[in-house]
Structure 1
Amino acid sequence: MTAHPTPRPSRRERPAKPALTRDGIVETAVALMRAEGLQRVTMRRLAQELDTGPASLYVYVRNTAELHAAVLDDLLGAVDLSPAKASGDWRDRLVRVLDSYTDVLFEHPGLARSALVARPSGERYLNLLEALLSLLSEGGVPDARAAWAVDLLLQFATATAAEHAAGEKDPTDAEGEWAELAAALRGVSEHRHPHIAALGTELLSGPGEARLNWGFHVLINGVLHTPRPEAPGPDTPETS
């Protein structure tokens, strides 16, 4: 007697999949990143997680770069913006916001590298920009100069986190590279490289947080004393 295969349930009998939304896609991408790392957050892998085809995702997200930017924007919700409305020296409060932004990237090494080229445009990124601009305005930085300054400050923070991320990828290699650099700096010829020989120890000194905050203050002080160049054409030149 021939056995008949069990009939598959009709499409009507199957439970309906949740409707795709951009917020749902980004939420799933963030969860996937936390579980498997950013390198696994691709359109194909995300489609598998959502039980759909990659083509369905392109209706909501244009490409992987935009997806990673959306993931970054979601995580920016963890940045502490409260210093923007606190009391105290505006420079110190500005550095506290930038430190918090950098800490978020430190927690997600893959995302730090992606953030160098990602262009987030969501609400959390706009909130970060607004906080930075409000503090620069409080410090008397002209608006046109502040508009360029936020880009410079965020680039420095992002590059620092990305450099840290490179070491997190393979700590053994990073320690080896650092040891080689230290040996090279300390072993230079005083005649050929007199400045390096004199400053070999200083070039490697200082905890990372201290150097990061010093860098922020250097940039802030530079912004205060360096006018933007006048733009030709219809752009309004900066007023000091």
Structure 2
Amino acid sequence: MTAHPAPRPSRRERPAKPALTREGIIETAVALMRSEGLSRVTMRRLAQELDTGPASLYVYVRSTAELHAAVLDELLGAVDLGPARADGDWRDRLVEVLTSYTAVLFEHPGLARSALVSRPFGDRYLDLLDALLALMSEGGIPRARAAWAVDLLLQFATATAAEHAPGEKDPADAEGEWAALAAALHGASGERHPHVTAAGAELLSGPGEARMDWGFQVLISGILHTPRHGTSDTSRPSLPKE
């Protein structure tokens, strides 16, 4: 007898797919990023993962940029905001929060680069902003100045992570580029580049953590002593009354 293949189940017999939700889409995007990298988190690839068409996703997420911003917002839940509620010098605690934010981006270099142009706008991002603003308020930084300063601090943290986090590049290539830079600096002409020659090894000195901490401290010092032009930001901030 000739064996016949079992009939395929009709659409009615197949298990129903779970309804699409924005939360479910973002959760799947985060899982996809962790397994395949951010470059694979596209609307088309995500639609395949969810067994639907790309057009269905645009009802919940308007673009790939918004999708990446939502993924970042989800991951910002790992930022340690505890220092904002702790005791101790407000500047040190501000740096602790910013360092924790940078560490999250270091784990996902593609996301760090995306964060330079795709800003999150969800609750976790607002939690981060509120913590940073609270610490600057504690330090006596006027609210108008702090409102601009928080953007500056996060730009520095994000750019640092995007530049130094390990990415998809071959480690040997990265090491070769660093060696080429070091050779160029050490071999600079004292006549053509006297200041480069004088600085010498200091241009490449210090561990990355020390440089980043110093950078944050430089920015905070500048924020403390640089008023915003065109605003009356010299008064100490206070929370709005209930």
- The interval holding the TM-score normalised by the smaller chain is over 0.9
Matching residue's letter, 2:233: E
Match of 2:56 in 1: 56
Which stretch has the larger CA shift, 44-53 or 8-17?
A: 8-17
SS of equivalent residue, structure 1 residue 69: helix
Q: Please tell me whether the aligned partners of residues 81 and 128 of structure 1 are also in contact (alpha carbons under 8 angstroms).
A: yes
Consecutive unaligned residues in structure 1, runs of 5 or more? 231-235
Deviation (angstroms), 1:5? 6.2
Q: Judging changes above 3 Å, is the alpha-carbon distance between structure 1 residues 167 and 7 closer, same or farther for their aligned structure 2 residues?
A: closer
Q: Please tell me whether the aligned partners of residues 90 and 138 of structure 1 are also in contact (alpha carbons under 8 angstroms).
A: yes
- Name the Cα RMSD after superposition: 1.6
Q: Give % identity.
A: 82
Q: Please tell me whether the aligned partners of residues 145 and 223 of structure 1 are also in contact (alpha carbons under 8 angstroms).
A: yes
Match of 2:209 in 1: 209
Consecutive unaligned residues in structure 2, runs of 5 or more? 236-242
Match of 2:93 in 1: 93
- What's the TM-score once normalised by structure 2's chain length? 0.93
Q: Deviations over 1:55-81 (max 9, x none)?
A: 000000001000000000000000000
Q: Deviations over 1:186-212 (max 9, x none)?
A: 111212211111111100000000000
Deviation (angstroms), 1:2? 8.8
> In the alignment, which of 217, 234, 242 is matched to residue 239 of structure 1?
234
Q: Deviations over 1:91-141 (max 9, x none)?
A: 000000000000000011111111111110111000000000000000000
1:129 aligned onto 2:124: no
Which stretch has the larger CA shift, 214-223 or 3-12?
A: 3-12
2: CA distance between counterparts of 1:170 and 1:238? 48
Q: Please tell me whether the aligned partners of residues 78 and 104 of structure 1 are also in contact (alpha carbons under 8 angstroms).
A: yes
Q: Please tell me whether the aligned partners of residues 69 and 119 of structure 1 are also in contact (alpha carbons under 8 angstroms).
A: yes
Q: Please tell me whether the aligned partners of residues 84 and 132 of structure 1 are also in contact (alpha carbons under 8 angstroms).
A: yes
Matching residue's letter, 1:147: A
- What's the TM-score once normalised by structure 1's chain length? 0.94
Which stretch has the larger CA shift, 123-132 or 6-15?
A: 6-15
2: CA distance between counterparts of 1:45 and 1:237? 50
1:163 aligned onto 2:163: yes
Deviation (angstroms), 1:165? 3.3
2: CA distance between counterparts of 1:215 and 1:25? 37
Match of 1:76 in 2: 76
Deviation (angstroms), 1:33? 0.3
Deviation (angstroms), 1:177? 1.0
Q: Please tell me whether the aligned partners of residues 83 and 93 of structure 1 are also in contact (alpha carbons under 8 angstroms).
A: yes
Deviation (angstroms), 1:170? 2.5
Q: Please tell me whether the aligned partners of residues 167 and 173 of structure 1 are also in contact (alpha carbons under 8 angstroms).
A: no
2: CA distance between counterparts of 1:157 and 1:78? 16
Deviation (angstroms), 1:171? 1.7
2: CA distance between counterparts of 1:31 and 1:167? 18
Match of 1:182 in 2: 182
Q: Please tell me whether the aligned partners of residues 166 and 174 of structure 1 are also in contact (alpha carbons under 8 angstroms).
A: no
Match of 1:140 in 2: 140
Deviation (angstroms), 1:168? 5.4
Deviation (angstroms), 1:166? 6.3
